[in-house]
Structure 1
Amino acid sequence: MKIIVDQDKCVASGQCVTAAADVFDQRDEDGVVVLLTDNPSEDLSADVHQAAAVCPALAIVVED
């Protein structure tokens, strides 16, 4: 699994962090998504897919 985030699309809603805090964080200054790892373990797959699904800006792409 590979994760790609588009920080330019991010609207800083924080839904990704709520869904997968081990994979996503937010910058302190503006809340834009920060990818902690672009290739997380398979046990986080459901959380990562949920984060991509709930992102209101569609700023997260997951490649399996």
Structure 2
Amino acid sequence: MAIEITDDCMACEACVETCPDVFEMNDDGDKAVVKDPESELDCVDEAIDTCPAEAIVRS
């Protein structure tokens, strides 16, 4: 399942801090992006659980 960031992202950087191997901020710094959409790292689930905007989804 691919990891995606929805338009609900509020650029809080929680996912980047929790799982920097998978998430980073875009060039404008106004949205997180997924570097490794197929990642199976445990920190992805933690990032999903801690996202205040619930903007990280698996599809």
Is the structural similarity TM-score above 0.5?
Answer: yes
CA distance in 2, matches of 1:20, 1:30: 17
State TM-score, norm by structure 2.
0.85
Shift of 1:29: 1.3
Gap regions ≥5 residues in structure 1: none
SS of 1:37's equivalent?
coil
1:49-64 mapped onto 2 (5 Å cutoff): 49-62=45-58
The answer as to 2:26 corresponding to 1:27 is: yes
State TM-score, norm by structure 1.
0.79
Matched residue count: 59
> Percent same amino acid among aligned pairs?
37
Note the aligned Cα RMSD (angstroms): 1.5
Bigger proportion of residues as helix: 1
Larger-Rg structure: 1
